């Protein structure tokens, strides 16, 4: 199977199934049988690494290596190196200081973010931005692409994680801020965004503290 068919969600589902690391093998640059499949795979891997990092999961748990089908020795070298790296990192979640419940919530949020329209559009444009440029012909450097992915991923993953936590129970901004390890002012801004989108609402007031819950009209994704 061409590496270009490896969807970002597939990588995350491997983690959700209990894998401590994910290895993606691809053809060398310029040798893809489908022209640019390996370049699209590289863009997707970079996106997933940024999303993992935003969620507090070590991005080194995901690796992509390029080699030809005739380089069996390199495949052995790469996979052996990867196995040793994962062994040194330790079990997924535990090494990051996450409880089983927090890890489950974060991976679900990551999957939903990667399956959303915004990140799918961004990752679908990366190769074009790097090779051809935008509408004005301006090409993006690798550094600019990583920064773009980081900025977009932050909002998407946080919003998805907030929704996952609100599924469990109504919470205050302070509760969410502590759980996400994110400043309360940022969480408050995102709660306002979720309210505007009809996904969250204030369920009650505890003293002077608003307690947020999922909107009764919010779709539920499993």
Which has the minimum average pLDDT: 71-75, 159-163, 209-213? 71-75
76-79, long-range: CB within 8 Å, 24+ apart, which pairs? 78/23, 78/25, 79/23
| Whether residue 118 has pLDDT greater than 90 | no
User: Do residues 58 and 96 make contact, with C-beta atoms less than 8 angstroms apart?
Assistant: yes
Residue in this structure with the two tokens 């936590």, named with its chain if needed: 165
pTM: 0.85
> Tens digit of pLDDT for each residue in 49-73?
999 999 999 999 999 999 887 888 9
pLDDT in the model for residue 125? 75
Q: Specify burial of residue 207 (Cβ count, 10 A radius: 0-12, 13-18, 19+).
A: exposed
| Whether residue 222 has pLDDT greater than 60 | no
| 103 Cβ contact list (under 8 Å, min separation 6) | 57, 92, 93, 96
Which has the minimum average pLDDT: 92-96, 144-148, 152-156, 204-208? 144-148
CA 147 to centroid of chain Cα atoms: 14
The three state secondary structure string of the chain is CCHHHCCHHHHHHHHHCCCCCEEEEECCCCCCCCCCHHHHHHHHHHHHHHHHHHCCCCHHHEEEEECCCCCHHHHHHHHHHHHHHHHHHCCCCCCCCCCHHHHHHHHHHHHHHHCCHHHHHHHHHHHHHHHCCCCCCCCCCHHHHHHHHHHHHHHHHHHHHHHHHHHHCCECHHHHHHHHCCCHHHHHHHHHHHHHCCCEEEEEEECCEEEEEECCCCCCCC
Q: How far apart are CA 3 and CA 89, in angstroms?
A: 25
pLDDT in the model for residue 220? 54
> Tens digit of pLDDT for each residue in 162-197?
999 999 999 999 999 999 999 999 999 999 999 999
């Amino acid at each position: 199977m061409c590496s270009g068919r490896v969807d970002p969600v597939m990588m995350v589902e491997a983690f959700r199934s209990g894998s401590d690391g994910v290895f993606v093998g691809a053809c060398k640059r310029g040798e893809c049988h489908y022209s640019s499949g390996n370049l699209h795979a590289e863009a997707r891997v970079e996106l997933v690494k940024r999303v993992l990092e935003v969620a507090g999961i070590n991005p080194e748990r995901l690796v992509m290596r390029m080699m030809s089908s005739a380089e069996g020795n390199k495949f052995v070298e790469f996979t052996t190196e990867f196995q040793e790296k994962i062994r040194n990192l330790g079990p997924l979640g535990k090494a990051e200081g996450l409880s089983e419940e927090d890890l489950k919530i974060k991976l679900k949020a990551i999957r939903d973010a990667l399956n959303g329209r915004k990140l799918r559009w961004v990752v679908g444009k990366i190769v074009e931005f790097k090779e051809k440029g935008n509408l004005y012909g301006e090409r993006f450097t690798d550094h600019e692409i990583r920064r773009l992915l980081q900025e977009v991923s932050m909002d998407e993953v946080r919003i998805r994680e907030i929704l996952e936590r609100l599924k469990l129970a109504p919470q205050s901004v302070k509760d969410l801020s502590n759980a996400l390890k994110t400043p309360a002012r940022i969480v408050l801004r995102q709660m306002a965004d979720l309210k505007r989108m009809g996904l969250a609402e204030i369920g009650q007031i505890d003293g002077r503290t608003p307690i947020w819950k999922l909107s009764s009209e919010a779709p539920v994704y499993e």
